């Protein structure tokens, strides 16, 4: 039988003290706890201080009827008892929510335990159903929010990728124009200023990739306490009067994180905490430790992003005693451009959420108005990993400069800009293709004459990795560098898996491009003059 508690509390509201004593004996005999009220007023006083699991309610009390008592207070589940067998009373009470109706006759004490057990079973089942429904509603709400954030993330990632392609063409043209101007020449300042603005735009695109969970991640296996020490100076410089108190945990396993990105996440969270505290000077506590995501007080908070793995995780906790958040604010706190302080402030905490997602980290929040906010970042312990192989290098002894380059990209502006730089700026022969299908055709015709392919990752008809797979089947010694506006970590992984020599993240500078090409091909002078 399902009971609402280990020892359910039964409140008897009965003015007959002799009968009340007999009921008390039955209640205690069955292992239940017992309270007694002889009047409606006494019952109201008890109900204001305690919440019994079940009420045995006499219909006719000295100071009021059961109906009048129900009009004055919301009772817990109850069974009505009466000395009258009036069916009208039974119907009235059942309409008001009574679980059962017992007549106080010679069978009353014999029937009472069974009626109480049935009621407690019903109460227990209803509570379990309510808990299940609440969990289902929470899961459904989380799923809707996750789908919304996933859609926004994909859109942001796609936009950032397209922007990076545009920025690549812009950067190439600006740098090419600078190369053609003499030092101190008219117009250099304007071009340099444009490059500086372009750098800011590129940074914004990177933040969009962070939000999408596909941003650059320079993963290092490190001690979280050491990383926190290095970030602390930045955190202390944030505006606000609140001091920071750090409580490091002992014997933490190492984690695989990008220290710069994690510091960026902590900076955003601590800045929010300082704004919530205002000028009262209450410290913000940052602690580290090992936490089981499913144990302890996890049920008291909300998972903004569930932990990626079960079992103990390495945790950073940020706790403040500030204003706290309502449920409605918490639901939007990690949305892009949401702020309760100054609307439209940027990607803010949504970028932090994307960074944590890319790390496979969980984000848990407990907050309430006037009770402050506790945020936990949970990271899986770093797995033992074999060191990654060093990027492949190609000796250029004997020269490879007599071979041509092939530039493969579906962006016409980028094709024109980089093609001109490679031919006129560096002196290479260059073949060009607009997608993977064309790249395969060109390589088949010029097989043996192409020393290096600069291959975009995402193109219509055929992607760069798919095209390079076919090219390597024709010539296992074919060499290529993968270029993409997506994240460096994801791009580098795809490049390794597909056999590319290196990965270049757009937008890159012409100098960076030149260094990568020369490292593989040598210079055109090693076997090739300008065309």
Q: What are phi and psi of 523, to 5 degrees?
A: -95, 155
Burial of 482 (C-beta count, 10 Å sphere; 0-12/13-18/19+): buried
pTM exceeding 0.85: no
pLDDT at 146: 59
- Residue 396, domain member (yes or no): no
| Whether residues 361 and 240 fall in one domain | yes
| Whether residues 155 and 39 fall in one domain | no
- Residue 517, domain member (yes or no): yes
The predicted-structure confidence for 384-435, as pLDDT tens digits, reads as follows: 544 444 444 444 434 444 688 999 998 888 888 888 888 888 888 999 999 9
DSSP 60: B
**pLDDT score of 457 more than 80:** yes
| Whether residues 476 and 330 fall in one domain | no
Average pLDDT over residues 149-178: 72
Total number of residues shown for the chain: 531
- Residues 302, 366 contacting (CB under 8 angstroms): yes
Say which CATH number the domain at 293 has. Answer: 3.30.565.10
3-state SS of 118-187? HHHHHHHHHHHHHHHHHHHHHHHHHHHHHHHHHHHHHHHHHHHHHHHHHHHHHHHHHHHHHHHCCCCCCC
- Residue 110, domain member (yes or no): no
Mean per-residue pLDDT over the chain, rounded = 80
Number of domains in the chain: 4
Say which CATH number the domain at 75 has. Answer: 3.40.50.2300
d(CA 485, CA 432): 19
| Whether residues 360 and 495 fall in one domain | no
Domain containing residue 159: 141-212
d(CA 414, CA 411): 5
- Residue 115, domain member (yes or no): no
CA distances from residue 149 to 73, 141, 142, 304 in whole angstroms, order as listed: 44, 12, 10, 11
pLDDT at 460: 81
Query: Crossing angle for the helix pair 259-277 and 224-236, nearest 10 degrees?
Result: 50
d(CA 186, CA 191): 10
d(CA 361, CA 225): 17
d(CA 373, CA 277): 10
Q: How confident is the model at residue 253 (pLDDT cuts 50, 70, 90)?
A: very high
| Whether residues 173 and 225 fall in one domain | no
pLDDT at 191: 82
């Amino acid at each position: 039988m399902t009971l609402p508690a280990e020892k359910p509390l039964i409140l008897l509201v009965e003015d007959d003290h002799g009968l009340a004593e007999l009921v008390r004996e039955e209640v205690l005999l069955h292992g239940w706890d017992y309270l007694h009220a002889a009047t409606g007023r006494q019952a109201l006083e008890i109900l204001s201080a305690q919440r019994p699991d079940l009420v045995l309610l006499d219909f006719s009390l000295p100071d009021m009827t059961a109906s009048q008592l129900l009009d004055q207070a919301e009772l817990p589940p109850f069974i009505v008892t009466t000395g009258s067998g009036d069916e009208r009373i039974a119907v009235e009470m059942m309409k008001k929510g009574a679980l059962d109706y017992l007549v106080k006759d010679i069978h009353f004490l014999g029937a009472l335990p069974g009626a109480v057990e049935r009621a407690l079973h019903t109460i227990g089942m209803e509570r379990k159903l309510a808990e299940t429904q609440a969990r289902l509603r929470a899961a459904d709400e989380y799923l809707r929010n996750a789908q919304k954030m996933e859609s926004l993330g994909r859109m942001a990632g796609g936009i950032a990728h397209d922007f990076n392609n545009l920025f690549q063409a812009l950067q190439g043209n600006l740098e090419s124009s600078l190369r053609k101007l003499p030092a101190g020449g008219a117009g250099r300042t304007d071009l340099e200023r444009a490059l500086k603005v372009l750098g800011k735009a590129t940074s914004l695109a990177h933040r969009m990739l962070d939000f999408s969970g596909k941003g650059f991640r320079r993963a290092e296996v490190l001690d979280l306490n050491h990383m926190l020490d290095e970030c602390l100076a930045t955190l202390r410089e944030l505006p606000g009067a609140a001091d920071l108190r750090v409580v490091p945990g002992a014997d933490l396993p190492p984690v695989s994180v990008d220290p710069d990105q994690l510091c960026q996440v902590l900076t955003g969270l601590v800045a929010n905490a300082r704004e919530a505290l205002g000028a009262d000077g209450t410290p913000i506590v940052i602690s580290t430790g090992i936490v089981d995501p499913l144990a302890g007080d996890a049920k008291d908070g909300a998972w903004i992003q569930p932990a990626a793995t079960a079992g103990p995780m390495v945790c950073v906790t940020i706790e403040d005693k500030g204003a706290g958040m309502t449920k409605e604010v918490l639901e939007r706190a990690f949305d892009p451009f949401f702020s309760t302080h100054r609307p439209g402030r940027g990607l803010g905490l949504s970028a932090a959420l994307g960074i944590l997602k890319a790390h496979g980290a969980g984000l848990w929040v407990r907050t309430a108005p006037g009770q402050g906010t506790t945020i936990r970042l949970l990271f899986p312990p770093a797995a033992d990993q074999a060191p990654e192989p060093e990027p492949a290098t190609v000796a250029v002894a004997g020269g490879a400069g007599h071979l041509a380059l092939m530039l493969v990209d579906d962006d016409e502006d980028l094709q024109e800009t980089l093609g001109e730089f490679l031919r006129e700026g560096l002196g290479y022969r260059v073949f060009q293709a607009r997608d993977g299908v064309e790249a395969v055709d060109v390589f088949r015709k010029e097989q043996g004459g192409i020393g290096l392919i600069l291959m975009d990752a995402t193109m219509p008809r055929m992607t760069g990795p798919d095209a390079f797979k076919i090219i390597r089947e024709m010539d296992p010694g074919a060499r290529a560098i993968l270029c993409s506006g997506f994240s460096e970590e994801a791009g580098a992984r795809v490049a390794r898996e597909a056999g590319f020599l290196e990965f270049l993240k757009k937008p890159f500078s012409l100098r960076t491009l030149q260094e990568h090409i020369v490292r593989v091909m040598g210079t055109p002078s090693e076997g090739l003059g300008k065309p």
